[in-house]
A and B are shown apart, each in its own frame.
Chain A
Amino acid sequence: MRLLIVEDNAELSRLVAAGLSAAGYESDIVSTVAEAREAVSSVSYAAMILDLGLPDGDGLSVLRELRRQMEPLPVLVLTARGGLQDRVSGLRSGADDYLAKPFAMEELVARLEAILRRPGQLLGRSLRLANLVYDTESRQIFVDDQPRIISARETSVLEILLRRQGRVVPKKNVEDHIFGLEGEVASNAVEVYVSRLRKQLTEHGAKVVIHTIRGVGYLMAEEK
């Protein structure tokens, strides 16, 4: 699986490709709307990094076309426009995320991986963080490649936090993820499961930490 970079600045696309390669992702580079259309129709890419200002048109037109064809290809929009309008119209057109220049390569990779970690995407099956691996299909947990047992609801919490590692997951999302449409849930249920998960992860020697962002949600990161 490859990534597609649609960017008209040759120097930048070369550097981005190099950065992605260092992170373990191979990519193809195109520089026009026409080339992008052709590439998307002929190759099955894992994700697309799309610059908006292209010489033969607006990158958003490619995105809209994809979405009209019900093409679920994840798209990360890059733009030199940071404006309010651009941001809103970018996300409305079906972008999965949005990154304004100048960005750090690290941020680009993190955002890309966050998209790829969604269910059904390239990294969506096996979620990793530090020495912790979670296989979403077999629902198996490994610490240092050793299988470990964590109870079911805590595993659900782990999954959503791992999919969005490094970012805050709102408490409401955690709650919905654990209980689905179960209806009334005790107000402190999420806290209870998160604290149990923390305890179990520590017992299993996972080098990860769950930060509580009071009033907002939780953030899982590598232990430093």
Chain B
Amino acid sequence: MAVAGAYSRSPTFKSLIWRIVFLHIVAVAVVAIFLPLVLFWLLNSEIDQLHRDAMRAQAEVLGERIVAAPDGLLTFNLPDSLRGLYSEAYGRYLYDIRDADGRLLFSSRRKTGAAVQAPPLSETMSGAGVTRIIDGKIIRIRVAEDLAHRDVIIDDIVSNFFRRVGWITIPILLILLATDIIIFRRAVAPLWKASEEASNIGPARTDIRLPTEQIPREIMPLVTAVNQALDRLEDGFRVQRQFTADAAHQLRTPLTILRTRIETLGDGAARQALHDDIEGMSRIVVQLLEIAELDTLVLDPGETADLRAVCAEVVASIAPFAITQHKDIALKGTDAPVVIHGNAVMLQRAIFNLAENAIKFTAKDTAVDVEVGKDGSVRVRDCGPGIAEAERELIFQRFWRADRQRSDGAGLGLSIVRGVVDDHAATVAVANLPGGGAEFTLQFRLAEKVAV
């Protein structure tokens, strides 16, 4: 298919929907991983900021408590309300206040003095500092909080984020994926409909066009172009078909003249030979016309025919020929009408061809049976040589003949049978009978009983 070439870049997914679903899953997976990470990071930095602001505010509060005495000495009075918070026993907050040279002036820890090196702070300590100028001296106030302290809840929010909230992104993304598949399926539904219509287009149905309603605007140029291509094809087809029909048609009158003129000749072997030739040629012309007609036939789906009546008519019309050929022809099977979907004239042609072959290619004084089944089947049986296994498909091809030496017939009869069968969505089967002879079985679709 030409279409396959256009998609060859991604051979894994021929379906547009599956390709989109696949890409969507990849996108969802990426988002599912990165979205929580980004959220986590944002939350963390937001909390850090919040924490620093709080620490800075506390440092400022502490800064206000540093008072310069008239003698230049700084005093720091921690209010009682805060004392508990900064106590080492509680262990949550720390502060230290240093001068510009980094000497420790005051600390929440007991040991004070520049010489005393502060013990390393635990890793979970986090804080902020402010600088104040008090009495002309630069003072740095730092406040920190132990985030591991049991009373700190702010980082719990972050650490619980994934467990409590983060998972929600995954179902949301999956719902989004499912919604997208549904939306996309709905969007391509008109294309499915168009494809269904397109599948009916064939040599016998060139009048069908793809529906243009509800087709997405993006696809419209393709649909329009296909329809225009079909218009051009149909024109070409019509010309071709018309030619076949006209050619066969135009031959009819001259053939009739030729035939009639030969019949006016005096009796003789030459006359008989010419007569036979004309017979054969007339048959071919008629069959070519029948084929041309079959190719253009559009069966009305509501049309029904009585298979039993059709077979009775075939047997009646071929009986005179059977008698001249010394064959015994009989109609067997059910006596009741067998109503099937089909066109009576086309059915008649197909069954006639089978019966005609059965009469033509069998020995004298043998029987040909046409049997109608209640199930919508027709069996045409003869007592001839049967049909070799290898030839059972070939016989339905146009211009195929078992014996090329014979000049009667062009090998079109059975191809017409096949054509009629195909038009009727029926089947044809060939088998050899145990007692010798061939049996052709046509199986048609029974029509629903129509209330009269």
Which residues in B have their C-beta under 8 angstroms from that of A213? 315-316, 319, 329-331
Contacts A9-B253, A213-B319 given: A102-B293 contact, CB under 8 Å?
no
Partner of B255, one of A15, A82, A101, A105: A101
- The distance in angstroms between the C-alpha atoms of A100 and B345, with both chains bound, is 14
Which residues of A71-112 have CB atoms within 8 Å of chain B's CB atoms?
80-84, 87-88, 100-106
| Beta-carbon contact of B312 and A102 below 8 Å | no
* Contact segment of A62-70, A135-143, A191-199, A214-222: A214-222
- The distance in angstroms between the C-alpha atoms of A51 and B340, with both chains bound, is 34
* Contact segment of B220-228, B282-290, B442-450: B282-290
B52: Cβ under 8 A from any A Cβ: no
| Beta-carbon contact of B256 and A167 below 8 Å | no
B261: Cβ under 8 A from any A Cβ: yes
B135: Cβ under 8 A from any A Cβ: no
By size class, the interface of chain B is 35 or more
A170: Cβ under 8 A from any B Cβ: yes
Give the tally of cross-chain contacts (CB within 8 A). 100
Chain A contact residues, majority secondary structure:
mixed
Q: Mark B330-365, 1 if CB is under 8 A from A, else 0.
A: 111100000000010110000000000000000000
| Beta-carbon contact of B261 and A15 below 8 Å | yes
A123: Cβ under 8 A from any B Cβ: no
- The distance in angstroms between the C-alpha atoms of A165 and B12, with both chains bound, is 73
Chain B contact residues, majority secondary structure:
helix
| Beta-carbon contact of A80 and B312 below 8 Å | no
| Beta-carbon contact of A215 and B312 below 8 Å | yes
| Beta-carbon contact of B316 and A167 below 8 Å | yes
| Beta-carbon contact of B264 and A170 below 8 Å | no
| Beta-carbon contact of B286 and A214 below 8 Å | no
| Beta-carbon contact of A219 and B255 below 8 Å | no
Nearest-neighbour CB distance to chain A for B101, whole angstroms, equals 117
| Beta-carbon contact of B255 and A214 below 8 Å | no
Which residues in A have their C-beta under 8 angstroms from that of B282? 102
Contacts A214-B330, A214-B332 given: A101-B253 contact, CB under 8 Å?
yes
Nearest-neighbour CB distance to chain B for A104, whole angstroms, equals 6
Nearest-neighbour CB distance to chain B for A181, whole angstroms, equals 21
Nearest-neighbour CB distance to chain A for B149, whole angstroms, equals 99
A22, closest chain B residue (CB): B264
| Beta-carbon contact of A19 and B312 below 8 Å | no
- The distance in angstroms between the C-alpha atoms of A11 and B258, with both chains bound, is 10
Which residues in B have their C-beta under 8 angstroms from that of A214? 330-332
Partner of B264, one of A11, A18, A215: A18
B320: Cβ under 8 A from any A Cβ: yes
Which residues of B207-222 have CB atoms within 8 Å of chain A's CB atoms?
none
B397: Cβ under 8 A from any A Cβ: no
Partner of A168, one of B255, B319, B370: B319
B249: Cβ under 8 A from any A Cβ: yes
Which residues in B have their C-beta under 8 angstroms from that of A215? 312, 315, 330-333, 370
Partner of B253, one of A18, A80, A87, A106: A80
- The distance in angstroms between the C-alpha atoms of A216 and B343, with both chains bound, is 21
B24: Cβ under 8 A from any A Cβ: no
| Beta-carbon contact of A15 and B257 below 8 Å | yes
B323: Cβ under 8 A from any A Cβ: yes
Contacts A84-B346, A102-B252, A105-B260 given: A217-B316 contact, CB under 8 Å?
yes
| Beta-carbon contact of B345 and A84 below 8 Å | yes
| Beta-carbon contact of A15 and B260 below 8 Å | yes
| Beta-carbon contact of A80 and B315 below 8 Å | no
B259: Cβ under 8 A from any A Cβ: yes
Which residues in A have their C-beta under 8 angstroms from that of B323? 211, 219, 221
A124: Cβ under 8 A from any B Cβ: no
| Beta-carbon contact of B343 and A170 below 8 Å | no
- The distance in angstroms between the C-alpha atoms of A209 and B55, with both chains bound, is 129
Partner of A82, one of B258, B263, B290, B370: B290
Contacts A12-B253, A19-B264 given: A216-B289 contact, CB under 8 Å?
no
| Beta-carbon contact of B320 and A167 below 8 Å | yes
Partner of B312, one of A18, A22, A166, A216: A216
Nearest 9 interchain pairs by C-beta: A215-B331, A214-B330, A168-B316, A102-B255, A101-B252, A15-B260, A102-B256, A80-B252, A102-B282
18 further A-B pairs in the complex, CB-CB below 8 A; given A15-B264, A219-B323: A16-B260, A19-B260, A22-B264, A80-B252, A84-B297, A84-B345, A102-B251, A102-B278, A104-B259, A166-B320, A167-B320, A170-B316, A214-B331, A215-B312, A215-B315, A215-B332, A219-B319, A219-B320
Which chain B residues have a beta carbon within 8 Å of chain A's beta carbons? Answer: 249, 251-253, 255-261, 263-264, 278-279, 282, 285-286, 289-290, 293, 297, 312, 315-317, 319-320, 323, 329-333, 343, 345-346, 370
A-B contacts, 19 of them at CB < 8 A, read: A9-B253, A12-B257, A15-B261, A15-B264, A82-B289, A82-B290, A84-B345, A100-B286, A102-B253, A102-B286, A168-B315, A168-B317, A168-B319, A170-B312, A211-B319, A213-B319, A215-B315, A215-B330, A216-B330
Which chain A residues have a beta carbon within 8 Å of chain B's beta carbons? Answer: 9, 11-12, 15-16, 18-19, 22, 80-84, 87-88, 100-106, 166-168, 170, 211, 213-217, 219, 221
